[in-house]
Structure formats: structure tokens, C-alpha cells
Structure 1
Amino acid sequence: MGYLSVVVVVFALISGTLSGCASFSAVQSEPSYAIADTRDTRLGRGITAETHKHDAPSGFRLLGNGLDAFATRLLLMEAAEVSLDVQYYLYHDDTTARLFTHYLLRAADRGVRVRLLLDDFGHGGQEAMLSALAEHPNIAVRLFNPFSNRVLPYLDFVTRFSVAHRRMHNKSFIADNQAAIIGGRNIGDTYFSADIYTNFSDLDVLGIGGFASEVSEAFDLYWNHRLAVPIRYLAPEADADGLTAVRTQLDAARTGERSRNYLARLQSLGLLEELLEGQLEFSWAESVLIYDQPDKIINAVADNSGHLEPALKALLAARHSEALIISPYFIPGNTGVITFSDWVNAGARVVVLTNSLAANDVPMVHAGYAAYRKPLIRAGVQLWELRPQPDPSIRRAGGRKRPSDLAGSSRASLHAKTMVFDRSVLFVGSMNLDPRSINLNTEIGVLIFHEGLATHASDVFMAELPRHAWRLDIETSHRWWGQADALVWLDESTWPATPVSKDSEPEASAWSRFQMWLFGLLPIEGLL
């Protein structure tokens, strides 16, 4: 979502206009809905039998490892007999995305209905491939909030800025209306531990039972919304030869060296064996699925009816003994600082993890956050920033990166959006704690009420934090002109803690620091 912020700000500065209307609102799409009764499918029989063993309506399993997250999706695609509903913001053209598409096509070939809903900003110009897929009788493809100019789509940020810069950021995957995955991951190598340069630290949750049908209801709202336009209206219609060509390309990608190496890594997963043997353990709990209504994209920014944010407000307004916040793009605003300060003053431990400038993929977004660091620390918040953790094994002499196998990565970046309250409530979703997620884009998430799961997530988070992040503090000194407060980054994996940097973003390039300084001068926080 960070790249979108760059595009939005650039075009907002150029255009100076905030009005416009969509060009595809008159398109009439045939409605379709989740297949309700799938209890007689293989997934349905197994999950129904398991559900009857528990009092709580839904079972959950966290997917923190990128390999686990991809393997789970792959096996669900292979197990599906009736339907696959897929909704994503970004859909890359790389190794894991091609594998993902290949297995979608395999499912369609054996009679599974596939509905693929993508935001029009995030598919990387793959209209020809998507149009060819839609020629399959069992595959339907729609693009959400499509750009009206199909040749120069970014011109819409000038001609219809008010709608064009607001995107569908939801991520959901549903198999047979029985198992669903939501969370932070899009479809692409960086999300599934397959990129040789950068891998995102991310989190999804797999849910079965009542949770899956709730995610299906949310998917249907978006699929049948007037902003969800069938690909045939947006790209030249393909033919049978086009589908054959795509099938050939996907087969070649699956058997290529990169794909074979990646699939071999999946074979060693313990989770894969558990899934195949039906021994995967779930935490059964009450939950609340929260999501923005799709009308959020076209409603006024000030109109928060149908937003998920009010559903979170009650939780955020409550007093807590502990709050752990993970958000890759974190811009709390003055209101957020006051909220966290109130929690601390009431006796809570408040811990926040976000990206450091060196780990952040968009320095502009970091600029919006940087001004709140000192106020947060003064309020008593424990503020941590993920460090990039370069791997010297994939660098050439002189520091230049070189290709390696798929297991290697030179840079880590935070992408998980998670909150844990009082070791009893866990939030997992697509929403960052920033103005764009709260006010502009659409998001989805789930509140899971399970002490064991929340406690486990908290324990792992706190144990791993010093190894993967720097803690920020303020060092006060007295100069001839008065008191001076400097930010200090501390490595707490050592004892005593080792200072890493003082008033200078550690391991960040001069270019990143310059961008952060420059964008920090602009009044653009509401767009980030």
C-alpha cells in the first residue's frame, strides 16, 4: 500500500482536484453468491465433524511463516470441490503468483467455481492473462474500482482523484465456504518467503467453522458491488487460444527451476504433514469479523457509516492492562497518542512495533510517522522499529546484491497488522493504523477472543522482539541554549543494551533520509 501513497501524493500535488466520478457505474454485472450448503464436500465433512466437538463456533490457526501460508492456500485449492473465492489488493507477476494461478486453474478444470476479485491498482497490468482466465467456463474475474483510462490509468488520479486513490485493500481466500484465510498477505513472492532480496514479516489467520461463511458474506458484498466490474468490460476479450497460451505459460512456470526449488521447500514443512494427515490443531473461539462496506470507496471521507473503525473504537476506548500493536505503516495522529497515553497512565504496558526507515518500503509513509515518536515515548509507550537484518551471504564484493536461491533474502520488512489486548483478544487483518486504512481504503479483520491464542502470540512477540527490532528511547542533554532531546536506537538483544544510533535513522541510506525529510515538510498525512 506504500507505493500507492507515493502515486497518490504526486498526482494530488499535480492535479489540485479532489472530484470526479467513475465511468463504469452503469455496468450491470450478473450477481452471484457463495454456495451455502457445502457440508457434503471433503472439507465440509471433516470440518463439520470437528466443529461438533467444540462449543465455540470457529477454529483458528495463525499462519506466521510465509511458507506455511502459501502451502495452506495450495492445499485448500487442491482440496476444494465446489468453490474458491479469492480477493486481493496486490496480485504480482512472479513465482508464487504464477503457481497460485496455476492451482486456481487446476481447480477450475475439475469443476470448481472460481471467483477472482482484484483491486485494479494491484494486478500489474496483467489484464491479458486475467481476460484469458475468464474464458474458462468455471472462472469469473472482476476488477474493483477500475481506472476509466485503460491506456494511461494513472491519469485517473487527476481526472477522478476522489475515487481513484481509494482502494480495496482487503485480502481473503475461501475454499468451499468451509475454510477461510484473511490477514496481511497479498499474492507475491515477498509475502511467501520466496523473494531473494526482500521478504515481508506478515501474519494471516486460517479459520474454519462459522468464520468461513462470515468471510464469504463479506466477499459477496464486494463481488456484487457496482465497483466490481467483469474483466470483459475492461480488457480485450480473449479466446480459447488465449486460455491455452496462458495454460502453457503457467505449466512452464510451475516446472521452472525457481518454482521447483520453492515447492521443494514446502515439502519439508511440518504444517504440510499435519494438513495432509488431518491433524492440524485449531484454537476454537468466539470471534467477530469486522470489515468496511464497499460503499466506503465512494462515500465522503467524513462519512464513517459502514466503516470497521467504529467497531474497533470500543476496544480501543476500553482500559487495558497490556496492548501489543504491530503495524507496518503506523501514523497514530494526536488522538492515537492521547489514547496510548491514557492506557499507560491507567497502568497498562503498551508496546508498538513498526518499520524502521531502513526496513520501510516507502520513506514517505515513514515521514508521517516520525513526528509522533518522541510524543509516544514521552507518553510511556515502548516503541520498537524492525531492523532490516541484511544477510551478507547474498552480496557481492563491494556490497552489491547478487541473486541467490529462493531461501535467501537480504532485507526484512514488516507487513503484519496485528493487535493483542490483555492477552485475551487478538486482532488479525489487513488494516494498518494510519489515515489511509482508517478513512480511505477498505479493510477486513477479525477479533478472536481466546486467551490461549492471544497469550501465545504475546509471548512469541515479546520473546522475539529484541532479536529483530531496535527499541527507541529519548536521551536528554543540557546545552547552553537549553534542554535537547535526541532519539536513540537501542539493541536490546545484548545486555546491557547497546546504542546503535543517535538522532540518525540506523542503516538507512542517505536517499531514504532525504525523502523522509522532504515529504515530512508536506501537509500530506491524511493521504498516507
Structure 2
Amino acid sequence: MTASALTSGIVLLHLLGVFAAMHAVMHTRTPQGAIGWALGLILLPYLTLLPYLYLGSSRFLGYRTTYPATPPRTLPATPDAPIEPGCARFAAIGALQGRAFRSGHRLRLLIDGDAAFDAMLAAMAAARHCLLVQFFIIHDDTLGRRLQQILLERAAAGVRVCVLFDGIGSHALPQRYVDTLRAGGVAIHPFATHRWRNRLQLNFRNHRKIVVVDGACAFVGGLNIGDEYLGLKSPLAPWRDTQLELQGPAVGDLQQLFAQDWQWITGAPPPLLPTPAADGHASALIVASGPADPQETGSLFFTAAINAARQRVWLSTPYFVPDHAVRAALQLAVLRGVDVRVLIPSRPDHHTVFLASTLHAHHAVRAGIRVFRYQPGFLHQKVMLIDRDTAAIGSMNLDSRSFRLNFEVAALAVDPGFAADVAAMLTADFSQARAVDECDYRDAPYLRRVAMHVARLFDPLL
């Protein structure tokens, strides 16, 4: 390569870097992110241009506009099941979702993999008309093959089976697994977030876990399909997680949410069935968030829920990387005299996130927030308990990825009985946890503390 050609190439890269920096300044969500990208693209375009193509977009384009979802038919709740009065303080969350709390739900708390998978697989095996299944991760292992066999059996019995998995989260899923299901009559597709205008964007992921059986019963929570979620793989075993089974009107909302994802990929709606009334009394709201939202729904959801608390806020999350709004809400709750506790793992599954979480935990403790590390194994549950009547269970972590980059879902339930069950579960978890104190950071080796601060620089991507 001649010197002139090399010079021309460098000049071209810097020009492209300037144009990309202008795009970053215009479209990056935060001033800090805009400054970081702009400086990198202008000064070091040969190192930052390619990452910016894959990681720089702040919005997922085209979703819910190209293929508007067909709303599922739902039947009204029974008139003798009024909305819980406690729902009123979460009106902002309902307005954010464009839907109101509805009553008449039967809820069942499923603790850990054995109980959750026994219930989910049994419900799937009993499907008679339609089965909608969505997971972030599906592995071709013992549990994955159990799921595969049930799906094939239901499809052979004439049940319409639709399956979504995330193309990045399930990158290790062999094609033969998918081909076997398709050959057996199962409609299965990866959720490819990088298609069309998002073609280069690998940073957006569909992290939802949804199962809907015959339009009448649904499951949401933190569990994916893999043997590790049954606690069968070290070094993270035993695996601590939580799932929720719902019956009632919110099942129809989960159908609609699945339909939106399905139509984005296939261009056609999945089969949608009427949702029958249940014999429960809990009030519930399905909370969906994602990078296609005009607002930062995930962060606003946690902020609004925490701000509504008057007695307690107990949070369980595998990744504790709160943004400024959620961190401020937790600090204000402490100042109001609210019992604020956060439960996080003591073992890392992603070292960069773990380092950043450790630093955030230190700052939280200094602000009066009580933080605990779960000791027996890896903690993966995503649970929020507000006061004595409200609990949320779903796929949302307390990090920027769940707030802004992932498609997520949670069920927010207002019911004193169900909240008491969640409180008992979390009380048992806290009894097996160690309190974090300021010495955990101060006594860490200097280079480890430096690593924590470096990891925190990547908060927007964690």
C-alpha cells in the first residue's frame, strides 16, 4: 500500500468518524454516552467505528409499526372481584402501559426450577388447542429435549404450537433441534433483533420468558430452558429462581405481547384464544418494556413502584446496576423510613457485571440501602415486593440492559395473600444471605477496586 493510499484511508476513516460522532451526539440516550462515543469516533475511529455500528443505536426501529398485533379476545372478570384499592398508587405504571389493572386473577408462586418446570411442562402437555412458548435461552440438553418432546407430542395431537427464542441468547442451540421441531409441525423462529433497519445492531435482545396454554393459563419469570436452571451445573449450582403462574384477564395481555413479537418475525399473527375468567381475586397488570418504547419504560416502572412504597421495598436481582432514577428512588425510600433491601448473588456468572454490581452495592450501602449476598448458590430471580400487598415477578433485572436494551416482561400483582407468599419466600432467602458492608469495598485489593470502577464505565451496556 502506497503512502498516499494509506493517508487517504486514514482521512476517510476520520471523516466517517466525524459523521458517526454527529449521529451519536444526536441520538445517544445520555450526555455521558454521547460524549464517550463522540470522542472515541473523532479521535480513534479505527477502533470505535465498528463497535459503534453494532452497539451505538439507542432505539429499536420498526417494531410494532410494521406489523400491528391483533389484540386477543378477552372475557370480562367476574363482577364479584373488585380491583384492589392499593392499585391506585400505581396509576402511573398503568398509564405508562396504556392499560389498567384488572381483577379476578388466580396466582401461584413457583419457587426454583423443579417446581416451576413441573408446573410449566405439565400445563404444556395438557394443551388442547394452542401453545405459545417464548424463552431467551433454549439449550439442547436434558431439559431442552423434554420440552422438545412435549412440543412434538402436542403438535402431533393437533395443537397449534408457536415457539420463539432469542437468536443471541440461544446462539448455542443447534439447527437440528429447530429442524426436528419444524418437521414435527411446530412453528419455531428466532427473534432476530438485527433484521431490517436494525441489521447491524446485535445489542438488542428479547429477554422475555412467556408460556401461554390455551389462552387460559400463563407463566412468566426468570427461568430459561436449560439444565443449569434446574441447578444441575456447577459452579453456579444450586440455582435460585422464581416463576409465576397466572390465570385471569392478564393472560390475554401476555398473548398480545407474544403476538407482537411473533408478528415482527413472521408477519402474521399467532392463534389467539379467548381468556376465560378465573376464580381468583388478585388484581394484576402486565408490564412490558423494550428498546422500541418511546420512553424508558423499564426504568420508569421500577422508579414508580419504589416511589409508591411506604413500608418496604425488597428487591431480588442477579445484576445490580441501577441508573440514576432508580438509585435516587431507593435513596428517597430510605429517607421516608421505608425498609429497603436488595438481594444479589455472591457468585458471578458475568464477571464485568459482577464487578460493577459490587461497586453499586457499596454506594447503596453508604446511602443506607441494605444489600445482601445470597450464599447457597447463584441467585437469578427477578422479584420486587412493595409494602404488604404488592409483588412483581418477571424477566427484568436491575440494570441498564433490562431498562433500555432488552425486551422484558413482568406481572405486577396487588393482593395481600400473594404478597405474603412472596414475603415468606424472600424472608427465607435473606436468612441465607450475608449483609454487605462498607468494608467489602475498602478491604478489597487496590487493583480489584480499580477493576470495579472500570467495569462501571460499561454500565450502559451491562
- Class of the TM-score when normalised by the shorter of the 2 chains: 0.7 to 0.9
Q: Distance in 2 between matches of 1:121 and 1:371?
A: 28
Opposite residue 176 of structure 2, the aligned amino acid is A
How many residue pairs match? The answer is: 379
Cα RMSD, aligned residues only: 3.6
Q: Call closer, same or farther: CA 1:385–1:14 in 2, change over 3 Å.
A: farther
Residue 284 of structure 2: aligned partner: 287
| CA apart distance, 1:122 | 2.3
Q: Distance in 2 between matches of 1:334 and 1:450?
A: 30
User: Any residues of structure 2 matched to 1:309-328 within 5 Å, and which?
Assistant: 309-328=299-318
| CA apart distance, 1:445 | 0.3
Residue 16 of structure 1: aligned partner: 51
Among 334, 352, 369, the alignment partner of 2:342 is: 352
| CA apart distance, 1:51 | 6.9
Give the secondary structure class of the aligned counterpart of 2:205.
Answer: coil
Alignment of 1:472 onto 2:436:
yes
Residue 405 of structure 2: aligned partner: 440
Q: Distance in 2 between matches of 1:113 and 1:188?
A: 24
Q: Call closer, same or farther: CA 1:450–1:189 in 2, change over 3 Å.
A: same
* Partner deviation per Cα, 1:235-269 (whole Å, 9 max, x = no partner): xxxxxxxxxxxxxxxxxxxxxxxxxxxxxxxxxxx
Alignment of 1:526 onto 2:446:
no
Alignment of 1:487 onto 2:440:
yes
Among 229, 238, 244, the alignment partner of 1:191 is: 229
Q: Distance in 1 between matches of 2:144 and 2:282?
A: 32
Query: Are the aligned partners of 2:331 and 2:369 in contact in 1 as well (CA < 8 Å)?
Result: yes
Query: Are the aligned partners of 2:299 and 2:325 in contact in 1 as well (CA < 8 Å)?
Result: no
Alignment of 1:129 onto 2:208:
no
TM-score, with length taken from structure 2: 0.73
Opposite residue 216 of structure 1, the aligned amino acid is Q
Give the secondary structure class of the aligned counterpart of 2:107.
Answer: strand
| CA apart distance, 1:433 | 0.7
Give the secondary structure class of the aligned counterpart of 1:174.
Answer: strand
Query: Are the aligned partners of 1:487 and 1:503 in contact in 2 as well (CA < 8 Å)?
Result: yes
Among 118, 133, 156, the alignment partner of 1:86 is: 133
Q: Distance in 2 between matches of 1:431 and 1:520?
A: 24
Query: Are the aligned partners of 1:143 and 1:229 in contact in 2 as well (CA < 8 Å)?
Result: no
Residue 152 of structure 1: aligned partner: none
User: Any residues of structure 2 matched to 1:353-372 within 5 Å, and which?
Assistant: 353-356=343-346, 359-372=347-360
Opposite residue 212 of structure 2, the aligned amino acid is I
Q: Distance in 2 between matches of 1:119 and 1:82?
A: 25
TM-score, with length taken from structure 1: 0.64
Alignment of 1:375 onto 2:340:
no
Alignment of 1:172 onto 2:185:
no
Point out where structure 2 has 5 or more consecutive residues left out of the alignment: 1-46, 83-102, 269-277
Q: Call closer, same or farther: CA 1:526–1:282 in 2, change over 3 Å.
A: farther
Query: Are the aligned partners of 1:81 and 1:112 in contact in 2 as well (CA < 8 Å)?
Result: yes
Q: Distance in 1 between matches of 2:279 and 2:209?
A: 21
Give the secondary structure class of the aligned counterpart of 2:152.
Answer: helix
Residue 260 of structure 1: aligned partner: none
Give the secondary structure class of the aligned counterpart of 1:487.
Answer: helix
Among 142, 148, 173, the alignment partner of 2:189 is: 142
Q: Distance in 1 between matches of 2:48 and 2:398?
A: 24
Query: Are the aligned partners of 1:430 and 1:444 in contact in 2 as well (CA < 8 Å)?
Result: yes
* Partner deviation per Cα, 1:48-86 (whole Å, 9 max, x = no partner): 9x9798664211001113111111112112211001000
Q: Distance in 2 between matches of 1:30 and 1:135?
A: 27
Give the secondary structure class of the aligned counterpart of 1:521.
Answer: helix
Query: Are the aligned partners of 1:60 and 1:282 in contact in 2 as well (CA < 8 Å)?
Result: no
Residue 104 of structure 1: aligned partner: 151
| CA apart distance, 1:94 | 0.9
Q: Call closer, same or farther: CA 1:201–1:514 in 2, change over 3 Å.
A: farther
* Partner deviation per Cα, 1:261-282 (whole Å, 9 max, x = no partner): xxxxxxxxxxxxxxxxxxxx98
Among 243, 246, 258, the alignment partner of 1:207 is: 246
Residue 418 of structure 1: aligned partner: 383
Q: Distance in 2 between matches of 1:346 and 1:222?
A: 40
Query: Are the aligned partners of 1:386 and 1:414 in contact in 2 as well (CA < 8 Å)?
Result: yes
Alignment of 1:70 onto 2:105:
no
| CA apart distance, 1:319 | 4.3
Give the secondary structure class of the aligned counterpart of 2:261.
Answer: helix
| CA apart distance, 1:519 | 6.4
| CA apart distance, 1:196 | 5.8
* Partner deviation per Cα, 1:464-489 (whole Å, 9 max, x = no partner): 4132x110123xxxxxxxxxxx338x
Q: Distance in 2 between matches of 1:14 and 1:515?
A: 30
Q: Distance in 2 between matches of 1:53 and 1:432?
A: 35
Opposite residue 525 of structure 1, the aligned amino acid is D
| CA apart distance, 1:168 | 0.3
Residue 89 of structure 2: aligned partner: none
* Partner deviation per Cα, 1:485-522 (whole Å, 9 max, x = no partner): x338xxxxxxxxxxxxx8249xxxxxxx9888546425
* Partner deviation per Cα, 1:111-132 (whole Å, 9 max, x = no partner): 1100001111122142232133
| CA apart distance, 1:200 | 2.0
Residue 428 of structure 1: aligned partner: 393
Q: Call closer, same or farther: CA 1:336–1:311 in 2, change over 3 Å.
A: closer
User: Any residues of structure 2 matched to 1:153-168 within 5 Å, and which?
Assistant: 161=200, 163-168=201-206
Q: Distance in 2 between matches of 1:334 and 1:53?
A: 42
| CA apart distance, 1:423 | 1.6
Q: Distance in 1 between matches of 2:344 and 2:279?
A: 28
Q: Call closer, same or farther: CA 1:365–1:349 in 2, change over 3 Å.
A: same
Q: Call closer, same or farther: CA 1:216–1:346 in 2, change over 3 Å.
A: same
Opposite residue 17 of structure 1, the aligned amino acid is Y
* Partner deviation per Cα, 1:321-360 (whole Å, 9 max, x = no partner): 111011111112444332222111111110110112xx12
Query: Are the aligned partners of 1:144 and 1:229 in contact in 2 as well (CA < 8 Å)?
Result: no
Percent of aligned pairs with the same amino acid: 25
Q: Distance in 2 between matches of 1:110 and 1:425?
A: 40
Bigger proportion of residues as helix = 2
Give the secondary structure class of the aligned counterpart of 1:385.
Answer: strand
Residue 271 of structure 2: aligned partner: none
